[in-house]
């Protein structure tokens, strides 16, 4: 494997953060392998996404606004991806670990006779070979794997596990020719989107997370929620808090929970165990509030505020609300 190809998942030109995380990681891996970093954007809105992707360190962005991609089920997408992969040659193909990404990746695996690794949280090139880290069995085991000798390898990247960093090459945008001789039977007639009232933990710009130090369920609603609301964010938790039944498991962050990458992560009454850290380490700024000045989270937080959370959080929330009111 030499080059890296990113599959860009988007809806009419709107994409998720994982696209930029994949683009950033593609550069790192391509440099280490001595190859080029490519991205492929297909369907209506592909050109708009390509413009956004130019801010990231890719070499080439392959684009087709072919409406067949929107109109038919996944076959046209896989045809285009296969065509780009075959023209680029021996490559690692990165897709997001989403419903669509896994579907595209699985089909490409069959088309290209490629290796496949799902839900990848870390990648390194060691001695010219790619070493892949992926949690298995709900995070109970962390596996390290490598592709056997194959021209193409496919990984699905866990959203928020990699940092997105703009900057770099000013990629060249090229139009892809429509793969010849294809016809498609399965038409998309309509799409139904479910409305969700709560902000998704994985996409929130600010996460205010609570741990065992909160002592019970009430502070999550009476203290953490108001602070999260004041900051335009949402509430998360450690496994200790979820195991205690203080919050639902859907709020758990970490190895066996969700992976988040907000601009700001506030860890309140959380010690910073490795299993929690792997779910939030790529956050932009990490602030920890803990009564213990020697707590492990202090080693990787940008700021450790030492004190009693029950005194600090209400004061902090008041200060933020006052500052917002003053600027309203
Ligand atoms: C296989 C496996 C998977 C796991 N997966 C996950 C996972 O996905 N996510 C996860 O979070 N954990 C996970 N864990 C558990 C993890 O090892 C830790 O036990 C857990 O993260 C600890 O949670 P905590 O920080 O809330 O609690 P603790 O480690 O007990 O820390 C509580 C902190 O609160 C502070 N504190 C107490 N009172 C106050 C106060 N009044 N003011 C300020 N600070 C205060 C204390 O000083 C302490 O640092 C996993 C463990 C295993 C074995």
Using the predicted structure, report yes or no on whether residue 197 has a pLDDT greater than 60: no
Q: How far is the CA of 212 from the centre of ligand 1 (A)?
A: 6
Q: How far is the CA of 35 from the centre of ligand 1 (A)?
A: 42
Where do the H-state alpha helices sit in the chain? 17-33, 46-53, 68-71, 75-88, 99-112, 218-219, 225-230, 239-243, 274-277, 309-327
Domain locations along the chain: 3-175, 206-327
Q: What is the pLDDT of residue 169?
A: 67
**pLDDT classification of 143: cutoffs 50, 70, 90:** very high
271 CA: nearest ligand 1 atom: 49
Q: Is 64 exposed, middle or buried (0-12, 13-18, 19+ CB in 10 A)?
A: buried
Q: Which residue, judged by its Cα, is nearest atom 22 of ligand 1?
A: 240
Q: What is the pLDDT of residue 291?
A: 98
Same topology between domain 3-175 and domain 206-327:
yes
**pLDDT classification of 4: cutoffs 50, 70, 90:** very high
Q: What is the rounded end-to-end Cα distance, in angstroms, of the chain?
A: 54
Q: Which residues, judged by CB distance below 6 Å to any ligand atom, belong to the binding site of ligand 1?
A: 139-140, 211-213, 238-241, 252-257, 269-271, 273, 275-276, 279, 289-292, 295, 308-310
Q: What is the pLDDT of residue 137?
A: 76
Question: What does the alpha-carbon distance between residue 102 and residue 188 come to, in Å, rounded to a whole number?
Answer: 19
Q: Which fold has domain 3-175?
A: Rossmann fold (3.40.50)
Residues 48-83 have pLDDT tens digits of 999 999 999 999 999 999 999 999 999 999 999 999
**Quick one: average pLDDT of 295-321?**
97
Q: Which fold has domain 206-327?
A: Rossmann fold (3.40.50)
Using the predicted structure, report yes or no on whether residue 298 has a pLDDT greater than 90: yes
């Amino acid at each position: 494997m030499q080059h890296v190809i990113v599959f860009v998942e988007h809806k009419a030109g709107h994409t998720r953060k994982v696209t930029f995380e994949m683009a950033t990681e593609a550069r790192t891996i391509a440099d280490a392998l001595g190859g080029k970093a490519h991205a492929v954007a297909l369907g209506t809105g592909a050109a708009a996404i390509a413009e956004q992707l130019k801010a990231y360190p890719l070499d080439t962005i392959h684009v087709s606004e072919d409406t067949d991609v929107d109109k038919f089920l996944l076959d046209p997408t896989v045809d285009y991806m296969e065509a780009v992969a075959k023209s680029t040659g021996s490559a690692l193909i990165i897709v997001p670990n989403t419903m669509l990404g896994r579907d595209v990746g699985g089909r490409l695996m069959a088309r290209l006779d490629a290796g496949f690794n799902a839900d990848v949280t870390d990648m390194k090139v060691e001695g010219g070979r790619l070493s892949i880290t992926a949690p298995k069995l709900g995070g109970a085991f962390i596996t390290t794997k490598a592709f056997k000798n194959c021209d193409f390898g496919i990984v699905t990247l866990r959203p928020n596990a990699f940092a997105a960093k703009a900057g770099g090459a000013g990629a060249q945008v090229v139009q892809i020719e429509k793969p010849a001789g294809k016809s498609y039977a399965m038409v998309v007639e309509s799409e139904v989107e479910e409305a969700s009232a709560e902000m998704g933990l994985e996409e929130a710009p600010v996460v205010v997370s609570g741990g065992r130090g909160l002592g019970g369920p009430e502070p999550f609603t009476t203290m953490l929620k108001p602070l999260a609301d004041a900051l335009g964010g949402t509430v998360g938790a450690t496994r200790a808090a979820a195991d205690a039944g203080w919050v639902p498991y859907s709020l758990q962050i970490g190895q066996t929970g969700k992976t988040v990458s907000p601009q700001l992560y506030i860890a309140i009454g959380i010690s910073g165990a490795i299993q929690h850290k792997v779910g939030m380490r790529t956050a932009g700024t990490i602030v920890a509030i803990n009564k213990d000045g020697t707590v492990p989270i202090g080693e990787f937080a940008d700021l450790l505020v030492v004190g009693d959370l029950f005194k600090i959080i209400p004061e902090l929330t008041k200060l933020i609300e006052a500052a917002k009111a003053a600027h309203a």
